Amino acid sequence: MFADTFYEAGKREKRLAVVVADISPAGSIQKFREDFPDRFVNTGVSEQIMIGMCAGMALRGLQPFAYTIATFTLFRPFEFVRDDLCYQNLPVTVVGIGGGVTYSTLGGTHHAMEDVAVAGAIPNLSIIAPCDPAETKAATLWCADQTRGPIYLRLGKAGEPDLTEMATPWIFGKLRYLKQGEDLCIFSYGPIMKLALQVATACEEKGSSVSVISVHTLKPLDREGIANALSRHKRAVVIEECVPHGGLAGQVKEIACDERMDCPIHAFTLRDEFIHCYGSHADLLAAHGLDLHTILTRLQG
Residue 190 as a binder of another protein (CB under 8 A): the answer is: no
Residue 58 as a binder of another protein (CB under 8 A): the answer is: yes
Ranges within 28-57 binding another protein (CB under 8 A)? 38-39, 41, 43-44, 46, 48-49, 51-57
Residue 138 as a binder of another protein (CB under 8 A): the answer is: no
At 154, phi and psi to the nearest 5? -100, 115
- Alpha-carbon distances, residue 35 vs 31, 32, 162 (angstroms): 6, 5, 29
* Three-state SS letters, 183-244: CEEEEECHHHHHHHHHHHHHHHHCCCCEEEEECCEEECCCHHHHHHHHHCCCEEEEECCCCC
Residue 60 as a binder of another protein (CB under 8 A): the answer is: yes
- 10 Å Cβ neighbour count for 206? 9
Query: CA nearest 131: which of 86, 162, 104?
Result: 162
> In this complex, which beta carbon is closest to another protein, that of residue 15 or of residue 253?
15
Site string for another protein, 73-92 (x = CB under 8 A): ------xx--xx--xx----
Residue 124 as a binder of another protein (CB under 8 A): the answer is: no
- Render 5-61 in DSSP notation, one character per residue: HHHHHHHH-TTEEEEESS----HHHHHHHHH-GGGEEE--S-HHHHHHHHHHHHHTT
At 49, phi and psi to the nearest 5? -75, -25
Helix (H, G, I), strand (E, B) or coil at 146: coil
Q: For the CB of residue 83, give the shortest distance to another protein in the complex, in Å.
A: 5
> In this complex, which beta carbon is closest to another protein, that of residue 55 or of residue 138?
55
> In this complex, which beta carbon is closest to another protein, that of residue 88 or of residue 209?
88
Q: For the CB of residue 35, give the shortest distance to another protein in the complex, in Å.
A: 14
Among 12, 24, 61, 276, binds another protein (CB under 8 A): 61
Q: For the CB of residue 62, give the shortest distance to another protein in the complex, in Å.
A: 5
Could you list the residues that contact another protein (CB under 8 A)? 17, 38-39, 41, 43-44, 46, 48-49, 51-62, 64, 79-80, 83-84, 87-88
